[in-house]
């Protein structure tokens, strides 16, 4: 899973180094060998294509073209006439002298009010979010997923996203945050480079407040999961990506990106990225507990199918991924997801 916080590089910018896509792109990864047709991604390698200006409309030909030009000329002449009249009216209208006397309102102004507000400092290891109690469970009705249907996948993702929005909204409201709900989309193109470990299942883009599911890769993984266990795995996937959205809304994701950019070594850069991804995995545990009525077997199913593969330098070891998922599932406060304050061996 990858994420992208807002304020990142402009669309189309090419990532450099292990920091990947910057604050705009965070993705969920499967640790298994990538499918043959869709090789495993290098994390953060994908960027939306740059915007292009649409081509101009075709130029009219023959008499119709002359008519258009003539009409435009008449319209311009009328507009200029109207402008001239308005100028004359303004110039010829006598102006009233400004009133004298009265109260000098400047006496009631304070210079301090003109100063810009102080910048808000976000401490990723000591954040008010960590004091919040776990959100109360919500009823979540999801449509039956038809894995081979693009439309079904988009509807499923949007429905689960609505449940996660309802789950997290009270937490963000209590923090005084009015976060825009993310958009949910699907893509049939894998963002994965050929030499990456694992492959991207979904990613979050903070620049667009959007969560995108990579259909060829989730279908590849889904073929390896028992049919009766797939929904729980996909709920965990969406919970992880929504966790990146919570990080974005609280300012954590942007600071994480800054830490990665300013890191002096590749090891420090990867450490910052793993803390970000493992926190999102912990938030996946919060999401699972909050929108399912399953017992501990739900956690076991997700860990077996989602965190049971190999270790990833960008997303942590399989053991640590499972540990943080359980932290979000079992602990009483969101502070259980404070990966930024965790010991180094817990975020390897």
When mean pLDDT is compared across 75-79, 157-161, 174-178, 222-226, the lowest value belongs to 75-79
- How far, in Å, CA of 227 to CA of 329, rounded? 23
Q: Are 309 and 318 in contact (CB under 8 A)?
A: yes
Q: Beta strand pairing status for 2-4 and 210-214?
A: unpaired
pLDDT of residue 268: 95
pLDDT at 94 over 90: no
pLDDT at 136: 94
Taking residues 19-45, report their average pLDDT. Answer: 42
Cβ burial 81-106 (10 Å sphere, 16+ → b, else e): eeeeeeeeeeeeeeeeeeeeeeeeee
- Between 118 and 72, where is the model more confident? 118
Report pLDDT for 20. 37
Q: How far is residue 175 from each of residues 92, 134, 199, measured CA to CA in Å?
A: 58, 13, 35
| Contact present, 188 and 215 (Cβ < 8 Å) | yes
Percent of the chain with pLDDT over 90: 58
The average confidence (pLDDT) of the chain is: 76
Between CA 217 and CA 194 the distance in angstroms is 14
- Position 241 pLDDT exceeds 90: yes
| pLDDT over 90 at 157, yes or no | yes
Which residues 6+ apart lie within 8 Å of 218 measured at CB? 147, 153, 201, 202, 234, 237
Q: What is the dihedral of CA 312, 19, 324, 182, to 10 degrees?
A: -120
Pairing of strands 183-187, 24-30: unpaired
- Give the angle 76-80-84 at the CA atoms, nearest 5°: 170
Contact 274, 314 (CB under 8 A): yes
Residue 54 confidence (pLDDT) above 90 = no
pLDDT for the residue numbered 263: 95
Q: What is the average pLDDT across 281-310? A: 89
Q: Which of 199, 243, 237, 233 is nearest to 302 (CA)?
A: 233
Backbone angles phi, psi at 26, to 5 degrees: -130, 140
Polymer length in residues for the chain = 348
| Digit-coded pLDDT (tens) for 112-134 | 556 555 556 789 999 999 999 99
Least confident of 64-73, 140-149, 337-346: 64-73
The half-sphere exposure of 22 on its side-chain side, counting CA atoms within 13 A, is: 17
Q: What is the pLDDT of residue 195?
A: 80
9-33 burial code (b ≥16 CB/10 A, e <16): beeeeebeebbbbbbbbbbbbbbbe
pLDDT-derived band at 194, boundaries 50, 70, 90: confident
Instruction: Show the DSSP H helices in 199-265 as ranges.
Output: 215-222, 230-250, 252-262
pLDDT at 100 over 80: no
Among 37-41, 253-257, 293-297, name the one with the lowest average pLDDT. Answer: 37-41
202 — phi, psi (to 5°)? -165, 160
> Cα(294)–Cα(305) distance, rounded to whole angstroms?
16
């Amino acid at each position: 899973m990858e994420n992208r916080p807002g304020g990142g590089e402009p669309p189309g910018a090419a990532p450099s180094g292990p920091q990947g896509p910057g604050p705009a792109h965070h993705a969920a990864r499967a640790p298994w060998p990538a499918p043959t047709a869709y090789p495993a991604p290098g994390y953060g390698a994908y960027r939306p294509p740059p915007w292009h200006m649409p081509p101009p409309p075709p130029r009219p030909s023959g008499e119709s073209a002359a008519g258009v030009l003539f009409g435009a000329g008449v319209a311009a002449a009328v507009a200029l006439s109207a402008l001239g009249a308005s100028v004359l009216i303004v110039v010829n209208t006598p102006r009233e002298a400004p009133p004298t006397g009265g109260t000098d309102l400047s006496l009631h102004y304070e210079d301090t009010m003109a100063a810009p507000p102080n910048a808000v400092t976000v401490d990723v290891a000591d954040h008010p979010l960590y004091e919040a109690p776990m959100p109360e469970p919500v009823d979540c009705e999801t449509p039956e997923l038809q894995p081979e249907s693009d439309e079904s996948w988009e509807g499923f993702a949007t429905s689960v996203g609505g449940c996660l929005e309802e789950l997290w909204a009270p937490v963000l409201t209590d923090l005084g945050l009015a976060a825009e709900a993310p958009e949910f989309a699907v893509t049939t193109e894998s963002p994965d480079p050929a030499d990456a470990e694992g492959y991207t299942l979904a990613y979050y883009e903070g620049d667009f407040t959007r969560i995108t599911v990579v259909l060829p890769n989730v279908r590849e993984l889904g073929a390896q999961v028992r049919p009766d266990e797939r929904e729980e795995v996909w709920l965990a996937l969406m919970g992880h990506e929504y966790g990146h959205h919570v990080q974005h809304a609280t300012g954590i994701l942007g600071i994480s990106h800054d830490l990665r950019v300013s890191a002096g070594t590749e090891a420090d850069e990867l450490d910052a990225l793993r803390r970000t991804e493992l926190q999102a995995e912990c938030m996946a545990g919060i999401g699972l507990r909050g929108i399912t009525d399953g017992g501990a077997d739900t956690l076991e199913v997700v860990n077996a199918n989602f965190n049971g593969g190999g270790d990833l330098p960008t997303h942590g070891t399989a053991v640590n991924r499972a540990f943080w998922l359980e932290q979000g599932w079992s602990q009483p406060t969101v502070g259980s997801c404070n990966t930024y304050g965790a010991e180094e061996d817990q975020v390897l």
